[in-house]
Amino acid sequence: MKVLVTGGLGFIGSHTVCELIESGYDVVIADNLYNSKIDVLDRIEKITGVRPHFYNINVQDKEALDKLFAKEEPEGIIHFAAYKAVGESVYKPLEYYENNFDTTFALLWMMRKYPKCKNFVFSSSATIYGVPDHVPLKETDPRKDATSPYGETKVVIERILEDIAKVNKEYNIAILRYFNPIGAHKSGLLGEDPNGIPNNLLPYINKVATGVLPCVNVFGDDYPTPDGTGVRDYIHVLDLARGHVLALKKLETNPGLVTYNLGTGKGTSVLEIIKDYEKATGIKINYVIKPRRAGDVAENYADCSKAKNELGFTCKYNVFDACLDGYNFQKKENQNK
């Protein structure tokens, strides 16, 4: 099957592209390099021996997308291309709503125009569960009011896809709710290296471990969790990438719309992951306790039994693997700068 991967040079996108190629899929990438670098394409080629067709286009651009569809005739889409910084979205709601909605709409219009393309995988997030009433979270738990415009785009797009699936019975749509993707490719060639000060915990720890930043700010130690710090479900990006291949295989059985949590099912606190990182890498991570970060929830982890039962999804890697792989990637990246 030929698959269009939007945002295919980004963190999760690039790992998924490699998994797809290694599973025999033909991959086309659309990415406007907003939050990615062109040399990721070389790295994908280095890892897989295949250089996917690449289109440097904004997925909002229907004309450019139309040309791509006419030429490539993809049968499936994995839609990663989106703005994803929670804090930034609060200050730039218009940009977030426009970009995340319009890219999705443009792709759905292409599916209308090119009926050969019936399969759509959407990158959603655990953020749609808002402040959870309980953990672990199941797919049947309610979507809550989002705490940011970024989260709102995920909530609303999920609803839009559900409405579209109701009237387009020939479509197969997978909504994948990611928990906290971390780690990097085993080769050290792909990973997450945000510009400036990272917002997310693991990229921040990577910068502390490699001497770029002095210490980790732990946002709150007074949550109702065993050690008082926030608990999350950290999933290795390689496991997450494999989840996309399994979801695509599921879509090939014509299930209509399906929704899956992709996590590990295990919660890890901020202090625990700092300790795990130290054990995995042998490097001391200094930290200071700071006040809670606005919008953070105490605890958030997945019940992954649906993905396990229906997709055969289980995680191969643990938090230690992810810490070590993330560290190795960051060390290599710093040397290249």
The least CB distance from residue 75 to ligand UD1, in Å, is: 28
Apex 131 CA angle, 129 and 137, nearest 5: 45
Tell me whether residue 51 or residue 292 sits nearer to ligand UD1 (CB atom).
292
Tell me whether residue 216 or residue 307 sits nearer to ligand UD1 (CB atom).
216
Tell me whether residue 171 or residue 329 sits nearer to ligand UD1 (CB atom).
329
Position closest to ligand UD1 via CB: 230
The least CB distance from residue 229 to ligand UD1, in Å, is: 7
Order of strands, sheet of 299-300, starting from the edge strand that comes earlier in the sequence: 268-269, 231-232, 299-300
Buried b (16+ CB within 10 A) or exposed e, 56-75: ebbbbbbebbeebbeebebb
**Amino acid symbol at 174:** A
The least CB distance from residue 193 to ligand UD1, in Å, is: 14
Q: Which residues bind ligand UD1 (CB under 6 A)?
A: 84, 86, 125, 127, 147-148, 151, 178, 180, 199-201, 204, 216-219, 230, 232, 270, 293, 295-296
Residue 102's Cβ-count burial label (10 Å; 0-12, 13-18, 19+) is middle
- Six token digits for residue 92: 């730039």
Apex 123 CA angle, 121 and 128, nearest 5: 125
Query: Which candidate in 150, 204, 234, 277 is catalytic?
Result: 150
The least CB distance from residue 293 to ligand UD1, in Å, is: 5
Tell me whether residue 75 or residue 192 sits nearer to ligand UD1 (CB atom).
192
Active site residue 129: no
Tell me whether residue 187 or residue 217 sits nearer to ligand UD1 (CB atom).
217
The least CB distance from residue 234 to ligand UD1, in Å, is: 8
- 280 within 8 A of 328, measured Cβ to Cβ: no
Q: Look-up: residue for tokens 């896809």?
A: 161
Q: Which residues lie across from 123 on neighbouring strands? A: 176
Number of helices (H) and strands (E) in the chain: give both, helices first. Answer: 11, 14
- What is the set of active-site residues? 150
